[in-house]
Structure 1
Amino acid sequence: MTNDKITIIGIAGGTGSGKTTVVKKIVEALPPHHVAVVPLDSYYNDTSHMTEEERRTINFDHPDAFDWKLLIKQINELREGKAIEQPTYSYLKCNREKETIHVEPKPVIIVEGIMTLLNKRLRDMMDLRIFVDCDPDERLIRNIQRDTIDRGRTVSMVVDRYLKVLKPMHEQFIEPTKRFAHVIIPEGGDNLKGINMVCKYIESIVEK
């Protein structure tokens, strides 16, 4: 598979905006086994050299928390038709796992994450850039639901983190990347009409 047959799509937006829903709908709209999804969350820096206490102090909603060099390298490899070993990350350990995920190049590569449109080198590789927009209150509710169930946090912990970290980081780093998007999906993952329009557009790109 050569790079002229591979479409790179970037999907960004605040935590809890509904990016996963958008990705799911795009995958469902395209032929089976047509899409490879590369989550930005898999590319947090390796912190094996740090103590557990030091890891707990990391701001994982800051651009410096990500291994951009590795992500860009692996997206380039997929675009060149080469398979990659995608890292995996544990939110409970705040570190990478030893296991990796084997990812084969596909006609469509989706890079999804809060700051997917932040890095210019990565952004310039994309054929389509999408920003999933969502009301802050709705995102907070989704964060509470997700983190209390999946990440073992209490409601007060989630709200405190949202006010001290997520909200200011969103306003400083994520919200400004909206201007780089070709398409903005308002109302987040609840906007099925907007998502379906994007899916139709992507289908037309891939057909070409």
Structure 2
Amino acid sequence: MSMLGLFQKCRVSAYCGVLSVRKQVRSIHTFKMAEKSADYSTTNGFESKTPFLIGVAGGTASGKSTVCQRIMEKLGQQHKEQTERRVVCISQDSFYRTLTPSERLRAERGQFNFDHPDAFDDKKLLAILKDILAGKKVEVPEYDYITNSISPHRSHTIYPADVVLIEGILVFYFPEVRELFHMKLFVDTDSDTRLARRVPRDIMERGRDLEQVLNQYMNFVKPAFEEFCLPTKKFADVIIPRGADNLVAIDLIVHHIWDIMYKKRASPPKIVNGCNGHQEADETNGRRLSGSSEDTLSR
């Protein structure tokens, strides 16, 4: 049966770490995977010319950075030297614009909205991403969360890589930036969990006090998430419930990246249930699959 015929009869749904194929009732529900294709040739042992660009969006403290770290770990890149990495990660926070003196005073009092699109230098982000796609070495500035400014003396050198992850709350908001991504991921974590993570992080790592953190969250972070970040969820190719805790979803994404990097498209990777090691057929002879993190790069 052709792939088109299969999708006309079935739907694919991913939820809570389980990928299943079920009988179609009225409509098809599926996540689109990487509609764009990258340009590939052999470079540094990898079949890549244009890097595969992946955007990772989601609310504050949703686990975007941790998801990127998990992907890099599973691809064996986390502990490599920068010049040897084939997968690299960039934060949108590095592209906050320089504040005016009055804005800096407001920021010190927790009265500046860092979650608004106007807080970012989207033109600079766009230029950097275009250089990355052109295979150039780029310098990405380092953001200082304590002084609310870009460090003038510190930056990260990003060398040409095969896969580049860009994470941030509004990486899908700017159309010109969004169109550059080959794959778009949205980390979907409930608001209570995100707030519970943000409070201790801002107090211990960024020198804020509790009252300031809560006021900023209620006055700026939460409204900006609902107005600017959450609507960009519709652009995602893959939605990851529970963020980095969703090991199966991360495994499936890593498999997809692995196949892209090595162009092993003849047959999909076999994923075995990490709990009971079985594959369960349903009434349409489709298969219900779930994955274990230990299986990710076993091929």
- Structure 2 length normalisation: TM-score? 0.66
The CA distance in 2 between the partners of 1:39 and 1:92, in whole Å, is 17
Q: Where does residue 143 of structure 1 map in the other structure? A: 198
Q: Which has the larger share of helix?
A: 1
Q: Where does residue 173 of structure 2 map in the other structure? A: 118
Identical-pair percentage: 37
The CA distance in 2 between the partners of 1:172 and 1:139, in whole Å, is 17
**CA offset at residue 174 of structure 1?**
0.4
> For the pair shown, which has the larger CA radius of gyration, 1 or 2?
2
Moved more, 106-115 or 185-194: 185-194
Q: Is the 8 A contact 2:48 2:261 kept in 1?
A: no
Aligned residues: 207
CA displacement 1:161-193 (0-9 Å, x = unmatched): 111111100000000000000000011222222
Q: Where does residue 272 of structure 2 map in the other structure? A: none
Counterpart amino acid of residue 166 in structure 2? V
The CA distance in 1 between the partners of 2:213 and 2:76, in whole Å, is 38
**CA offset at residue 156 of structure 1?**
2.6
Q: Is the 8 A contact 1:18 1:132 kept in 2?
A: yes
The CA distance in 2 between the partners of 1:36 and 1:89, in whole Å, is 17
Q: Where does residue 221 of structure 2 map in the other structure? A: 166
For 1:21, which of 56, 63, 66 is the aligned residue? Answer: 66
The CA distance in 2 between the partners of 1:153 and 1:192, in whole Å, is 32
Where structure 1 has 5 or more consecutive residues not aligned to the other structure, the ranges are: none
Q: Where does residue 95 of structure 2 map in the other structure? A: 43
The CA distance in 2 between the partners of 1:184 and 1:205, in whole Å, is 19
* RMSD across aligned positions (CA): 1.7
Ranked by relative contact order (alpha carbons within 8 Å, sequence separation 6 or more), the top structure is 1
CA displacement 1:42-61 (0-9 Å, x = unmatched): 000023x5254155443111
The CA distance in 1 between the partners of 2:262 and 2:173, in whole Å, is 28
Where structure 2 has 5 or more consecutive residues not aligned to the other structure, the ranges are: 1-42, 78-84, 264-299
CA displacement 1:87-118 (0-9 Å, x = unmatched): 11111111111122211120011111111111
Q: Give runs of aligned pairs for residues 169-184 of structure 1, distance below 5 A.
A: 169-184=224-239
Moved more, 167-176 or 189-198: 189-198
The CA distance in 2 between the partners of 1:144 and 1:196, in whole Å, is 29
Q: Where does residue 83 of structure 1 map in the other structure? A: 137
